């Protein structure tokens, strides 16, 4: 065990002061031994010799027991100053200026000169000056000129040495402080690096776990195809569900640089472009892709029915949810298409349509019979009914007519779904159709407290079509607008000619429809959430029938609505004879 470690265990405040004193103690010990030995350095003045030994002992004890760290740093030089004076006494007691122990002066001198502060240069120089000049003063003997010069020249040299030592010690302290600060910074940086490394390892483990989880989920999605594309529609993501649905592996698709439109029916894309008011000429690839993502580019998710085409030519009816694909900064870098196979659902819907058509057809005959007998009872002159009985009969007749209309609507939707329903094509003057619908709806508008306004131009607006069916379509829109408009609101039915198109717009100030539900409005039996919340009566067939009629006439149905503000639905019809109006129409989609 070293002395320093031993001293560090003692209840001392500043063992460093004592450690600095140790060289002086050792030097004095050697000098005392030499002085007391026979034939050693003679002791010329015992009192001064003993005083020097006592003084250095006192300085040593002070260095050991005094808590120097609790005082200002300049107080610590008391110990080497006393030691330096003790060297002077030792020198006087062992031959004065001829004493060989003058060399011990260097030990406390270096200590004082190396302490921080320029004042210690002065202390070291003055104390050394006293020690070196003391023999000249105390002895009183005549000295040669060389002794005098040496006595005064030596302190000057000590002064220069003190300055050098103090400066070197100062620079060493500065460098040591800088090195210590750099070491502390390095330790801090090392600790931060270790912490960052630990966090990196932890995050890497979490990332691997998350990647394994995502990969497991990705591989488990086999019933829905998930296809990702860049902004131009080039496929770069292909999940196992897509492989199962479309019969191509991920490697085949990515290596072949397939485009998402490669798996769509061109006719469906073209029809969608028509609905978007695109120019229906030769369609470029980018235009076809726009048919898939136009709604998504506008900022909304899009759920729509499409038909996928496999490489072997087999067709798969799917419902596709298209959403934007974002990077870590929230910027759109592509699109995601999640498709669900609707083949079984469509088959179920077909069977349901057949069932509905069959039941509706079977219901018409007894309903017609019921209405006929009710009419006979009402018109029986031989046995007239009482006033109360006529009221009961009117209620039964009104509900029977309502049920018959519902059966008729169900039959019509079944005909639409089968792709064929009858149309009586002739010239139709739309002003009379709109006026008739408005006049028919005025009693209902008055009862509901809604203002019904007709805006019909003076000039003739004519199209080729079925008067009865077009009137039915306008009636449906006006009826819906009245049902969804609270008392005090307004419903406006406007007819206008727009170039090669005729437009019938029905606008209300009603409860409106949420934007996310607009794409589902023309689905059979669908009712908007605002309708169910406000308990508006209906079964959800009116817009389905209206969309089918308008599509059969080569037109389109435009819907715009804002919840709490109102709704505007426009029937847009071609003024020229539509090629599709022949009574036999292609299958009518039920999404707007």
CA quadruple 59, 61, 62, 63: dihedral, nearest 10:
90
pLDDT digits (tens, 9 = 90+) for 33-43: 888 888 777 88
CA 453 to chain centre: 49
pLDDT score of 308: 92
d(CA 114, CA 165): 6
Task: Give Cα separations from 389 to 178, 369, 399, 402, 444 (angstroms).
Answer: 113, 20, 16, 20, 26
Positions of the chain with pLDDT under 70: 1-15, 136-151, 277-287, 349-365, 373, 402, 405-422, 515-542, 576-592
Decide: 229 and 264 in contact? Cβ < 8 Å: no
pLDDT score of 499: 76
Decide: 155 and 128 in contact? Cβ < 8 Å: yes
pLDDT score of 516: 58
Instruction: Say whether 181 sits in a helix, a strand or coil.
Output: helix
Decide: 330 and 299 in contact? Cβ < 8 Å: no
Structural domains of the chain, ranges and CATH numbers in brackets: 3-188 (no CATH), 222-341 (3.30.450.20), 346-418 (1.10.287), 426-574 (3.30.565.10)
- pTM of the model as a whole: 0.40
Decide: 413 and 544 in contact? Cβ < 8 Å: yes
pLDDT digits (tens, 9 = 90+) for 241-298: 888 899 898 889 888 888 998 899 988 888 888 777 544 444 444 468 888 888 888 7
Instruction: Say whether 455 sits in a helix, a strand or coil.
Output: strand
């Amino acid at each position: 065990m070293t002395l320093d470690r031993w001293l560090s265990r003692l209840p001392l405040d500043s063992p460093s002061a004592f450690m600095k004193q140790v060289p002086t103690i050792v030097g004095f010990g050697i000098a005392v031994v030499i002085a007391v030995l026979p034939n050693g350095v003679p002791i010329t003045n015992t009192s001064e010799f003993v005083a020097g030994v006592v003084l250095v002992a006192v300085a040593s004890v002070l260095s050991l027991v005094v808590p120097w760290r609790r005082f200002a740093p300049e107080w610590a030089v008391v110990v080497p100053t006393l030691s330096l004076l003790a060297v002077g006494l030792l020198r006087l007691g062992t031959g004065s200026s001829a004493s060989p122990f003058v060399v011990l002066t260097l030990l406390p001198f270096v200590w004082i000169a190396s302490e921080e502060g320029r004042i210690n240069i002065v202390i070291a120089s003055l104390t050394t000056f006293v020690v070196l000049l003391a023999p000249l003063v105390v002895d009183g003997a005549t000295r040669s000129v060389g002794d005098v010069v040496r006595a005064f020249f030596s302190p000057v040299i000590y002064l220069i040495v003190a300055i050098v030592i103090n400066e070197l010690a100062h620079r060493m302290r500065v460098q040591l402080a800088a090195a210590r600060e750099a070491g502390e910074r390095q330790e801090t940086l090392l600790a931060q690096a270790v912490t960052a490394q630990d966090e990196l390892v932890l995050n890497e483990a979490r990332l691997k776990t998350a990647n394994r989880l995502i990969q497991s989920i990705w591989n488990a999605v086999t019933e829905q195809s998930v296809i990702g594309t860049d902004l131009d529609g080039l496929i770069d993501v292909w999940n196992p569900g897509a492989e199962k649905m479309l019969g191509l592996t991920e490697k085949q698709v990515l290596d072949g640089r397939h485009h998402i439109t490669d798996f769509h029916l061109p006719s469906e894309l073209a029809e969608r472009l028509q609905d978007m008011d695109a120019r229906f000429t030769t369609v470029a690839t980018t235009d076809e892709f726009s048919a898939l993502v136009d709604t998504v580019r506008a900022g909304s998710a899009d759920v729509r029915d499409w038909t996928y085409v496999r490489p072997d030519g087999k067709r798969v009816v799917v419902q596709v949810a298209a959403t934007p694909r974002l990077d870590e900064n929230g910027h759109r870098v592509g699109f995601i298409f999640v498709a669900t196979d609707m083949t079984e659902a469509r088959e179920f819907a077909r069977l349901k349509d057949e069932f509905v058509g069959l039941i509706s057809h079977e219901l018409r005959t007894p309903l017609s019979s019921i209405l006929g007998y009710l009419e006979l009872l009402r018109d029986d002159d031989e046995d007239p009914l009482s006033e109360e009985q006529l009221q009961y009969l009117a209620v039964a007749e009104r509900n029977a007519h309502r049920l018959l209309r519902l059966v008729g609507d169900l039959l019509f939707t079944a005909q639409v779904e089968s792709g064929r329903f009858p149309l009586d094509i002739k010239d139709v003057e739309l002003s009379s159709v709109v006026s008739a619908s408005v006049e028919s709806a005025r009693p209902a508008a008055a009862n509901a407290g809604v203002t019904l306004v007709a805006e019909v131009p003076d000039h003739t607006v004519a199209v080729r079509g079925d008067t009865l069916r077009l009137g039915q379509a306008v009636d449906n829109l006006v009826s819906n607008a009245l049902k969804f408009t609270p008392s005090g609101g307004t419903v406006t039915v406007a007819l206008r000619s727009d170039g090669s198109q005729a437009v019938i717009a029905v606008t209300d100030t009603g409860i409106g429809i949420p934007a996310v539900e607009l794409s589902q409005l023309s689905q059979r039996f669908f009712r908007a959430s605002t309708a169910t919340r406000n308990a508006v009566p209906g079964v959800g067939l009116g817009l389905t029938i209206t969309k089918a009629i308008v599509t059969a006439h080569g037109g389109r149905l435009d819907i715009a609505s804002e919840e709490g503000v109102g709704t505007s639905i426009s029937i847009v019809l071609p003024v020229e004879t539509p090629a599709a109006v022949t009574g036999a129409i292609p299958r009518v989609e039920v999404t707007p």
